[in-house]
Amino acid sequence: MQNSVDGFLNYMTVERGVSPNTLSAYRSDLNQLVQYLQTNHLNGNGSDWQDVDEDMMSQYLLHLHALEYSDTTRARKVASSRSLFGFLLDEGKVSRDPTENISSPRIGRSLPDTLSVDEVGDLLAYAALQDSPDGLRNRAMFELMYACGLRASELVSLDLGDIDLEQGSVRAFGKGGKDRVIPAHADAIAVMRRYINEARPSFVKRESERSLFLNRRGKRLSRQGFWLILKASAARAGITKAIKPHMLRHSFATHLLQGGAPLRHVQELLGHSSITTTQVYTHLTSEHVRTEYDKSHPRA
């Protein structure tokens, strides 16, 4: 069974070009499924996907519910299972899809978590006070993410050659291997120039290192490392909200729309393939309009 999972993961990488984070989620979900099936329903390593039936998959969904996973997580795990069985059907390794009649948990689309303009200002102001190499690196990351609306994975994947300081632009590689060139405002470019010239050399352990943002060991900073830095900096800046890795990206999109930017332009900047994905931010701007109305209208 594990060989089939490995074949599916290879297919998703080579043929579908899924991101490393998506691939990691598939691997985790499907390894959990294999372990459950072999422990509770099948005969260990000699079992086969053809032996899996609808009742087993229904029991698996109940098992996930008993583990108190959120609706969103359970829905993702069901979707991973469906994708695997779709692949196995196409490969002729199963004759039916046991997930076909399995209902996924219903989930409402949650609105992205954002920072207000003032909160972003507080975060950047705090970062600007930190003049150490770590502080300059952190400020450069925050400024660039908010200036360009980068995903956390895009930010930490940047190499030196992806930043054009003269043109004031960033080349980001998004989901599915798609790349886009995003303009960055002059203040962000100035901070990046200072980081590259003054702070980054203190992190470099090998002259051949091309990663833009480095940790103290001279390695590329991880997504998790960035998130921990963002959380700690936000707390020290007096921000009490729960901080998520993509918060500055969501704030970028929301603040652009609140400022009157066309939805299509924001879609291109974010690298969304569908404008439907971008439209979720219009709900946040509608809430902003309502708040301002309630604050400003004399009869509200």
Check if 249 is active-site: yes
Question: In this structure, what token pair is assigned to residue 19?
Answer: 């991101």
Based on the residue annotation, tell me whether 146 is a catalytic residue of this protein.
no
Angle at 211 between CA 205 and CA 216, to 5 degrees: 45
Tokens representing residue 207 in the block: 């002259």
Active-site residue, 139 included: no
| Residue 214 · residue 220 · CB < 8 Å | yes
Query: Of residues 77, 246, 250, 255, which has the active-site annotation?
Result: 246
Residue 283 among the catalytic residues? no
Phi/psi at 252 (nearest 5 deg)? -55, -50
Catalytic-labelled residue, pool 223, 231, 244, 272: 272
Q: Count Cβ atoms below 10 Å from residue 240 Cβ, excluding itself.
A: 8
| 151 is a catalytic site residue | yes
Cα separation of 207 and 205, whole Å? 7
List, in order, residues 6 or more apart from 150 with CB less than 8 Å away.
144, 170, 172, 182, 249
Helices (H), the chain: 2-14, 20-40, 54-66, 71-90, 117-128, 133-148, 152-157, 186-194, 223-236, 247-258, 263-270, 275-296
- Torsion from C-alpha of 148, 150, 152, 154, nearest 10 degrees: -120
Q: How many CB atoms lie within 10 A of CB 290?
A: 11
Exactly one of 74, 77, 151, 250 is catalytic; which is it? 151
* Three-state secondary-structure class, residue 211: strand
Cα 251 to chain centroid distance, Å, stands at 14
Catalytic hit among 175, 194, 223, 236? 175
Contact between 170 and 184 under an 8 Å Cβ cutoff? The reply is yes
Catalytic hit among 200, 249, 250, 255: 249
Instruction: State how far the alpha carbon of 226 is from the alpha carbons of 126, 138, 213, 223, 243, in Å.
Output: 16, 8, 9, 5, 12
| Structure tokens belonging to residue 146 | 């908010």
The single residue of 60, 126, 146, 281 carrying the catalytic annotation is 281
246 part of the active site: yes
Q: Provide the annotated active-site residues.
A: 151, 175, 246, 249, 272, 281
